[in-house]
């Protein structure tokens, strides 16, 4: 079994490997059968945005044999206008946070999480999130993200590490769960 290390992203090479893994798992390039059984990622980041996000709060990565095989992107709220596809999520999230009286909560956004297909079903998802929490819980109270309800694999995996549904909504004909993992 190959040793996997968990760490914060530090180099341009690591960021480029994140983007390569993202491109292999973006919904647009996958077959419907793969989407159903393996899940997918929705957002395509540019290197510039990914690097600026990393400079503000370094991403969590899993590496095997020197190659990124999994990642969990740290996205601060200040990047809400940098990824256009996420703008509706941020606007909706603002409403829910206010309505649920969570305005004092110091949170960050799970910008995206992905595991290389050859490393799935080996516990990397939970280990990435465990490392994510260890690295960030001294600065944040929670992490929030959104999962498409059609991505059942992702929804179940997030709930298995401790995420709870804040709210459900429909955006552009797609059903979404806004979920939170409270640490404090």
pLDDT at 41: 84
DSSP 77-120: GGGTTTSGGGHHHHHHHHHHHHHTT-TT--EEEEEEEEE-GGGT
pLDDT at 30: 81
- Tokens of residue 103, six digits: 């305005």
Closest CA to 27 of 111, 150, 128: 150
Percent helix, percent strand, percent coil in the chain, to nearest 5: 45, 30, 30
| Mean pLDDT of each 10-residue bin along the chain, 184 residues long | 94 98 89 78 93 98 98 95 90 92 92 94 95 97 93 91 95 92 94
In this prediction the pTM is 0.92
Find the angle CA(58)-CA(63)-CA(69) to the nearest 5 degrees: 95
CATH of the domain at 57: 3.40.630.30
Q: Edge-to-edge strands of the sheet including 164-171?
A: 4-8, 60-64, 67-75, 107-115, 142-148, 174-182, 164-171
d(CA 73, CA 66): 19
pLDDT at 44: 93
- Tokens of residue 142, six digits: 């929670």
Residues of the domain holding 151: 4-182
pLDDT at 21: 97
Give the chain's domain count: 1
């Amino acid at each position: 079994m190959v040793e996997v290390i968990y760490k914060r992203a530090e180099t341009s090479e690591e960021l480029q490997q994140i983007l390569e893994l993202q491109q292999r798992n973006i919904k647009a390039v996958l077959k419907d059968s793969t989407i159903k059984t393996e899940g997918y990622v929705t957002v395509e980041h540019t290197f510039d945005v990914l690097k600026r996000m990393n400079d503000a709060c370094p991403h969590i990565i899993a590496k095997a044999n020197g190659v990124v095989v999994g990642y969990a992107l740290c996205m601060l709220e200040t990047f809400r206008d940098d990824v256009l596809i996420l703008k509706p999520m941020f606007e909706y999230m603002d409403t829910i946070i206010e309505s649920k009286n969570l305005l004092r909560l110091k949170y960050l956004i799970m910008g995206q999480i992905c595991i290389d297909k050859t490393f799935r079903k080996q516990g990397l998802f939970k280990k990435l999130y465990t490392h994510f929490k260890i690295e960030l819980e001294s600065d944040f109270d929670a992490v929030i993200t959104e999962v498409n309800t059609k991505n059942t694999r992702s929804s179940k995996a997030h709930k298995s590490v401790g995420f709870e549904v804040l709210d459900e909504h429909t955006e552009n004909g797609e059903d979404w769960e806004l979920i939170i993992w409270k640490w404090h």
